[in-house]
Amino acid sequence: MQTLQLTTGAAGVPALAANSSITNALAGQSVEFFGSKAGILTLYANADAVGVQHTLFLNDGQDIKTVIPPGSSLSVASTVGKLKTNEDFIGQWAVPAGIRLVWGLTNTTGGAIVARGMFVIS
């Protein structure tokens, strides 16, 4: 099992500034590319305020599969700064080997917002 927790604006992840987007918050992270084995991806995510949208794509280099459609809203954290697996479950998907994960984030507000996600691969 592999787990990656990421927060915008920390540990190599760009900040989610006002009215901006991050094309792939997983760029350069350990789970961006699935290795030689297929697996199960479980995603937990939230934001510190209303106004963050996200999308998730699986890209095999030839085809792109939309897992979470663009414009899907992230829920607001019940406790600012905390990710809770019992509250912030987004979904679970089978992922084939050799796939690139692309998790895009968009801030639709006039102020910076922190978003966070936890990617669990088993």
Burial class (CB in 10 A: 0-12, 13-18, 19+), 14: middle
What is the per-residue pLDDT across 80-94, written as a single tens digit (0 to 9) for each? 999 999 999 999 999
What is the tens place of the pLDDT at every residue in 22-38?
A: 999 999 999 999 888 99
CA–CA distance, 19 with 7 (Å, rounded to integer) = 18
Low-confidence ranges of the chain (pLDDT < 70): none
pLDDT in the model for residue 50:
97
pLDDT at position 35, please? Answer: 85
pLDDT of residue 12: 86
Q: Which domains does the chain have, with CATH numbers?
A: 2-121 (2.60.120)
Distances (CA, A) of 98 to 26, 30, 32, 48, 107: 15, 13, 10, 33, 30
| pLDDT at residue number 41 | 97
